[in-house]
Amino acid sequence: MDQPPNPQFLDDITGALDWWRDAGVDCDFLDEPVEWLAPPELEGALPPRRRPDPKPDPDAPPPPAKLDPASLPADLAAFAPWWLSEPLLCEGGPAARVAPQGKAGAELMIVIEEPEAEDSETLLSGQQGKLLDAILTAFGTGREDVYLASALPRHTPGADWAAMSERGIGQVLRHHVALVAPKRLFVLGGNVLPLIGHESPHRPAMLRTFDHEGGSIPLLASWALPALLAQPRAKPVLWRAWLDWTAS
């Protein structure tokens, strides 16, 4: 038999809540926290399966071989022959490589990005070399008084500088500078600076310091010679930086 509805049900609930509210109780607390929005736990649920590690691709090319620091020449006399023959310096063998020129302890060491396309026996034998000779004349010196080197052993259009750095070409360059032990270091090329721990130059000329195990060397960084050829207005900026650099 159906019971008649209780019209006082809502009044009873409201009265009970009012009584507790008058007593100063307006919240319900539990000793243990309840995560109300958590999904319900399934009885007998299995723990999440760990995704297996990906298997190496047998067809993937092997990582590039890296230059062994222990294989670097111990003195400057041995560096040029090693530079012309070491297979890991660049791909394609020793053809068209160009050796650095100069003597240890030079007042100025110049590092460019790479040889010119027409270079064979001498670095910078084309238009870039003519610009460098003009710059050195303005600086009051010449090739016979400086040590001239390149970061890459031969002309490499579209060089992958990140891959070359991964191979260890930056370590080779730092070792090369340490062997020469120049009084000052002049770097021409934004791709060279990251190899020795600096950012690429955003201005035509910037003053920096080359730090190595043997101490610190004053460093003047500028754009690559092709960029200076294309933007003659950068030359006065380089000249002023040279004056500030040599005055210190």
Decide if 123 is inside a domain: yes
Decide if 113 is inside a domain: yes
Expressed as residue numbers, the domain containing 127 is: 103-247
Decide if 71 is inside a domain: no
Q: How many domains does the chain have?
A: 1
Decide if 64 is inside a domain: no
pLDDT in tens, 174-196: 999 999 999 999 999 999 999 98
Decide if 213 is inside a domain: yes
Looking at per-residue confidence, does 34 or 120 come out higher?
Answer: 120
* DSSP characters over 92-157: T-STT----B--TT-SEEEEESS--TT-SSSS--SHHHHHHHHHHHHTT--GGGEEEEESSSS--T
The span from the CA of 124 to the CA of 120, in Å, is 9
Nearest to 217, CA basis, from 204, 208, 225, 226: 208
pLDDT in tens, 203-225: 788 888 988 776 899 999 999 99
Nearest to 147, CA basis, from 120, 187, 114: 187
The confidence score (pLDDT) of residue 243 equals 94
Pick the range with the lowest mean pLDDT from 28-42, 80-94, 116-130. Answer: 28-42
The confidence score (pLDDT) of residue 116 equals 97
pLDDT in tens, 92-107: 778 899 999 999 999 9
The span from the CA of 68 to the CA of 86, in Å, is 11
Decide if 191 is inside a domain: yes
Helix, coil or strand: residue 187: strand
Decide if 144 is inside a domain: yes
The span from the CA of 66 to the CA of 63, in Å, is 9
Q: Are strands 215-222 and 205-212 parallel, antiparallel or unpaired?
A: antiparallel
Residue 229 has pLDDT above 90, yes or no: yes
Name the amino acid, one letter, at 101. Answer: Q
Q: What CATH number should be reported for the domain holding residue 155?
A: 3.40.470.10
Q: Measure the CA angle with vertex 113, ends 144 and 85; round to 5°.
A: 80
The confidence score (pLDDT) of residue 91 equals 78
